C-alpha cells in the first residue's frame, strides 16, 4: 500500500467533495425534486462495479439548510464551512489551490465506484470492497488492499463546467508530483498518469474521469460507449427508487456476498470437505430459489435523507423473498423503559418453517442432504420434546439490553408462542443438566412461573433466568430484567418519549429496532473511569435522541432513522 501523502492531488481533490463528509457520503446534496438522483455518472462506471456512491456536490435550498443544521448540531460547524476548510487543507502542501484551480470548474455531481476481482473471493472479503483508507487530508488510497487477489479498483467521475480549466488543473497538479507524470490517449480521450502510477485522470464529455489504473480508466471509457453499471439489471431495477430529498445514494450489488457463499468451503457428498467447485454455488442457488430469493442480478440502494432534526437512511432491495415481515412492535414496547437496545422479529415460526422446508427440499451441499433436516427434527420430536409443534407455535422473538450502570446491566431474549407446553415439560431436565455442570447454583422459580435461575461466578449478582410465564419464554441476565421480560411490571418503552419518537419517525407502521444513544453514553461514562476518549464517544451519543429502524411488508424496503437531540 502506498503512502497516502504520495497520492496525486488531482485525484485527491476530484473525490474530496464526495468523501469529506460524515459517513463518507452525507456531505453532498441534491434538490430532492423527485427525480432519481441515481443517474448519469453510473453510465461511466464499468459493469463489474460492486459499490457505487453518487451525490450532488453542494446542496441548495431547503436541503442545504437541513444539512447545515444537522452538521452544526453534530460538529458545531456548518457542513459547507467544514468542506471548504477540508478542501483548502488538502491543497496546503500542493501547488494546486482549491479556490483558484478547482472551484471555478467544479460542477454539480460526483460519483465513485469500486470493483473487486471476485474470482477467488472469500467470506472475509465480502464486506471489504471499499477503498482502503480516506485520510483526513482528503487523499484517497486507491491501490487496493484485498486478499486473495481481490484488490479493489476505483473509478471517479466529477462534473466539470469548464473542461479546459479542468485540463489545466490536471496539468498543474501532475507537475507537482514527486515522480514524472506520463501522457496517454484511449479512444480519443487524453489522460495523465500520476508519478506514482496509481492515478489516471482525463476529461471527456464535461466530466473529470479518474481511475486507479490505466486499465480501469480505459474500462470507464468503454463503459460509457457500451455496457455500463447503469445497464445492469441489478442497478437499473432499483435506480429509480432513490428516496425523495436524498442528498446521497449508495448502491451495492450482492455479487461479493454470493461469490463468498459459492467459495465458502462447501463439501462433497462424502462430507470430506475440500473444494466442491461449482456445485456449492449451484446448491446454494437452489436453496435461494426455494426461499424465493434471487441472488443473481440483485442489489441494495440506500438513500441518505436529511430532515429537520433527523438523519434518515432509506433503502430498497430487489432480491425478493417469501418471508413474512410481521410487526414486533407490540412485544418491543413491553421491554424496560431503560433499554438501551431493543429489537424483534415477528412470524418467527412461519419463517423458520419456510427455511426448514427449503433446506429439506434442496439440501445444502456438503452439510445436509435433501430430506435430512426434517428427519432429524422428527427424530428429536420423538424423544420427548415435540420440536415440530414448538417451531410452528413460535410467534414473535425479541431481545433487549437494559441498565443505567455497568453493574446493573442485563438483558433478555423473549419469545412468544401459542403453545409452550413442549418446552415447559423439558425445563426440569435442562436445569438438572446445568446444575451438574460445575460452578452453577441452580434454583427453581416460585409462584406461577415455570423455570429456574442459575448463579455463576462469571456474573456476580446477576443470575441467568430461564422461565416460562403465559405465552412468553425468557432467557434473561438479571432478576429485574427477567421480571420485566415476563411482563412483571415496571416502566416500559411504551411510555418512553424517545421510543415513541423513533416509532413516529418511521414511514411504515412497524419498528424492528430501537437504540437509546444517551443511555449508551451514560454506560460509556460509567465504564470509562474518566478516560478522555470515552468521554468524547459519550458526548457524541448525547447528540442523538433515538435510533429507530423498520422494514416494509414484503416490498424490499427498509428505513433507519437517527433523531437528533435538542
Q: Which residues contact 415 (CB under 8 A, 6 or more apart)?
A: 348, 394, 395, 396, 397, 398, 472, 473, 474
Domain assignment present for residue 310? The answer is: no
Domain boundary among 494, 519, 554: 494
Comparison of pLDDT for 450 and 37, the residue scoring more: 450
pLDDT of residue 482: 94
Q: In the numeric block, which cell numbers belong to residue 245?
A: 430529498
Ranked by mean pLDDT, the top range of 78-87, 94-103, 277-286, 554-563 is 554-563
Q: pLDDT category, 437, cuts 50, 70, 90?
A: low
d(CA 344, CA 256): 28
**565: DSSP letter:** P
d(CA 38, CA 251): 9
Q: Which residues contact 99 (CB under 8 A, 6 or more apart)?
A: 88
Domain assignment present for residue 300? The answer is: no
Helix/strand/coil (H/E/C) assignment for every residue in 366-398: CCECCCHHHHHHHHHHCCCCCHHHHHHHEEEEE
Do residues 482 and 500 both lie within one domain? no
Q: Give the burial class of 238: count Cβ atoms within 10 A of its Cβ; 0-12 exposed, 13-18 middle, 19 or more buried.
A: buried
Which among 175, 174, 222 has a CA at the least distance from the CA of 198? 174
Tally the domains of the chain.
Answer: 3
Do residues 476 and 357 both lie within one domain? yes
Write the CA distances from 68 to 62, 76, 303, 312, 426, integer angstroms: 10, 10, 18, 15, 58
d(CA 191, CA 214): 9
Helix/strand/coil (H/E/C) assignment for every residue in 438-467: CCCEEEECCCCCEEEEEECCCCCCCCEEEE
Do residues 396 and 537 both lie within one domain? no
Element of type H or E holding 548: strand 544-551
Q: In the numeric block, which cell numbers belong to residue 310?
A: 433527523
Domain assignment present for residue 532? The answer is: yes
Domain assignment present for residue 55? The answer is: yes
DSSP 149-172: T--EEEEEEEEES-HHHHHHHHHH
Domain boundary among 441, 474, 494: 494
H helices present in 213-363, as ranges? 214-225, 233-238, 255-262, 279-290, 329-332, 348-362
Give the structural domain span for 516.
496-564
Which among 512, 86, 530 has a CA at the least distance from the CA of 332? 512
Domain assignment present for residue 261? The answer is: no
Lowest mean pLDDT among 192-206, 237-251, 438-452: 438-452
For 97-117, what is the mean pLDDT? 86
Instruction: Give the tens place of pLDDT for each residue, 127-150.
Output: 444 443 333 333 333 444 333 334
- Phi and psi based region of residue 366 (left: phi greater than 0; alpha: psi -120 to 50; beta: remaining): left
pLDDT of residue 284: 65
Do residues 92 and 162 both lie within one domain? yes
Do residues 445 and 534 both lie within one domain? no
Domain assignment present for residue 11? The answer is: yes
Do residues 73 and 203 both lie within one domain? yes
pLDDT of residue 247: 86
d(CA 207, CA 189): 11
* 75-95 core/surface letters (b: 16 or more CB in 10 A; e: else): eeebbeebbeebbeebbeebe
Inform me whether the pLDDT recorded for 296 exceeds 80.
Answer: no
Q: pLDDT category, 507, cuts 50, 70, 90?
A: confident
Do residues 362 and 482 both lie within one domain? yes
pLDDT of residue 547: 97
Domain assignment present for residue 281? The answer is: no
Rg (CA), the chain: 27
Domain boundary among 494, 510, 534: 494
Do residues 459 and 524 both lie within one domain? no
Domain assignment present for residue 351? The answer is: yes
Q: What is the mean pLDDT of the chain?
A: 79
Lowest mean pLDDT among 220-234, 250-264, 276-290: 276-290
d(CA 230, CA 223): 9
Residue 266: alpha-carbon gap to chain centroid: 26
Nearest 5°: phi and psi at 367? -115, -55
Comparison of pLDDT for 554 and 478, the residue scoring more: 478
Write the CA distances from 92 to 14, 87, 370, integer angstroms: 16, 9, 64
pLDDT of residue 445: 86
Inform me whether the pLDDT recorded for 120 exceeds 60.
Answer: no
H helices present in 76-176, as ranges? 79-90, 163-175
Do residues 445 and 503 both lie within one domain? no
d(CA 70, CA 306): 8
Strand-pair partners of 121? none
d(CA 416, CA 29): 44
| Contact (Cβ atoms closer than 8 angstroms) between residue 74 and residue 129 | no
Q: pLDDT category, 264, cuts 50, 70, 90?
A: low
Inform me whether the pLDDT recorded for 175 exceeds 80.
Answer: no
Do residues 399 and 378 both lie within one domain? yes
Do residues 173 and 230 both lie within one domain? yes
Strand-pair partners of 114? 51, 154
Ranked by mean pLDDT, the top range of 423-437, 438-452, 468-482 is 468-482
Residue 259: alpha-carbon gap to chain centroid: 18
Do residues 476 and 500 both lie within one domain? no
Q: Where are the beta strands (DSSP E) in 195-338?
A: 200-204, 207-211, 248-253, 299-306, 310-317
Which among 293, 313, 295, 294 has a CA at the least distance from the CA of 303? 313
Amino acid at each position: 500500500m502506498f503512502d497516502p501523502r504520495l497520492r496525486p492531488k488531482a485525484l485527491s481533490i476530484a473525490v474530496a467533495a464526495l468523501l469529506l463528509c460524515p459517513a463518507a457520503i452525507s456531505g453532498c446534496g441534491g434538490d430532492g425534486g423527485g427525480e432519481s438522483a441515481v443517474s448519469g455518472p453510473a453510465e461511466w462506471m464499468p459493469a463489474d462495479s460492486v459499490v457505487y456512491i453518487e451525490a450532488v456536490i453542494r446542496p441548495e435550498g431547503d436541503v442545504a439548510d437541513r444539512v447545515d443544521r444537522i452538521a452544526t448540531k453534530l460538529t458545531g460547524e456548518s457542513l459547507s464551512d467544514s468542506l471548504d476548510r477540508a478542501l483548502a487543507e488538502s491543497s496546503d502542501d500542493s501547488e494546486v489551490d482549491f479556490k483558484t484551480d478547482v472551484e471555478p470548474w467544479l460542477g454539480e455531481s460526483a460519483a465513485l465506484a469500486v470493483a473487486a476481482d471476485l474470482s477467488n473471493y472469500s467470506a472475509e472479503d465480502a464486506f471489504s470492497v471499499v477503498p482502503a483508507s480516506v485520510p483526513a487530508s482528503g487523499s484517497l488510497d486507491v491501490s487496493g488492499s484485498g486478499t486473495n487477489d481481490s484488490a479493489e479498483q476505483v473509478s471517479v467521475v466529477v462534473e466539470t463546467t469548464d473542461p479546459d480549466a479542468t485540463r489545466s488543473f490536471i496539468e498543474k497538479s501532475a507537475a507537482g508530483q514527486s515522480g514524472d507524470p506520463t501522457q496517454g490517449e484511449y479512444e480519443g480521450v487524453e489522460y495523465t498518469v500520476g508519478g506514482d502510477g496509481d492515478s489516471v485522470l482525463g476529461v471527456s464529455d464535461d466530466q473529470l474521469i479518474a481511475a486507479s489504473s490505466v486499465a480501469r480508466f480505459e474500462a470507464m471509457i468503454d463503459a460509457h460507449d457500451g455496457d455500463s453499471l447503469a445497464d445492469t439489471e441489478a442497478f437499473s431495477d432499483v435506480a429509480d427508487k432513490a428516496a425523495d430529498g436524498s442528498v446521497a445514494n449508495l448502491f451495492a450489488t450482492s455479487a461479493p456476498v454470493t461469490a463468498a457463499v459459492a467459495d465458502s468451503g462447501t463439501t462433497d457428498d462424502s462430507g470430506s470437505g475440500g473444494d466442491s467447485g461449482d456445485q456449492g454455488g449451484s446448491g446454494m442457488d437452489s436453496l435461494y430459489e426455494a426461499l424465493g430469493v434471487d441472488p443473481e442480478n440483485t442489489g441494495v440502494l440506500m438513500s441518505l435523507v436529511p430532515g429537520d432534526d433527523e438523519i434518515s437512511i432509506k433503502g430498497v432491495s430487489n432480491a425478493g423473498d417469501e418471508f413474512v415481515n410481521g410487526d414486533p412492535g407490540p412485544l418491543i414496547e413491553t421491554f424496560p423503559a431503560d433499554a438501551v437496545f431493543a429489537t424483534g422479529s415477528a412470524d418467527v415460526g412461519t419463517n423458520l418453517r419456510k427455511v426448514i422446508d427449503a433446506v429439506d427440499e434442496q439440501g445444502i451441499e456438503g452439510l445436509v442432504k435433501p430430506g435430512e433436516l426434517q428427519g432429524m427434527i422428527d427424530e428429536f420430536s420423538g424423544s420427548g420434546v415435540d420440536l415440530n409443534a414448538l417451531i410452528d407455535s413460535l410467534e414473535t422473538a425479541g431481545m433487549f439490553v437494559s441498565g443505567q450502570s455497568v453493574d446493573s446491566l442485563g438483558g433478555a431474549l423473549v419469545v412468544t408462542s401459542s403453545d409452550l407446553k413442549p418446552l415447559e415439560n423439558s425445563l426440569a431436565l435442562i436445569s438438572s443438566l446445568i446444575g451438574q455442570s460445575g460452578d452453577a447454583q441452580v434454583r427453581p422459580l416460585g409462584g406461577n412461573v415455570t423455570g429456574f435461575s442459575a448463579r455463576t461466578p462469571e456474573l456476580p449478582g446477576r443470575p441467568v433466568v430461564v422461565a416460562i410465564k403465559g405465552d412468553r419464554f425468557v432467557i434473561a441476565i438479571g432478576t429485574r430484567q427477567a421480571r420485566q421480560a415476563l411482563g412483571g411490571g415496571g416502566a416500559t418503552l411504551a411510555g418512553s418519549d424517545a421510543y415513541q419518537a423513533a416509532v413516529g419517525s418511521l414511514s411504515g407502521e412497524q419498528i424492528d429496532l430501537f437504540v437509546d444513544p444517551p443511555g449508551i453514553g451514560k454506560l460509556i461514562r460509567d465504564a470509562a473511569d474518566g478516560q478522555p476518549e470515552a468521554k468524547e464517544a459519550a458526548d457524541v451519543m448525547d447528540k442523538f435522541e433515538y435510533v429507530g429502524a423498520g422494514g416494509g411488508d414484503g416490498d424490499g424496503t427498509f428505513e433507519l432513522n437517527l433523531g437528533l437531540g435538542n
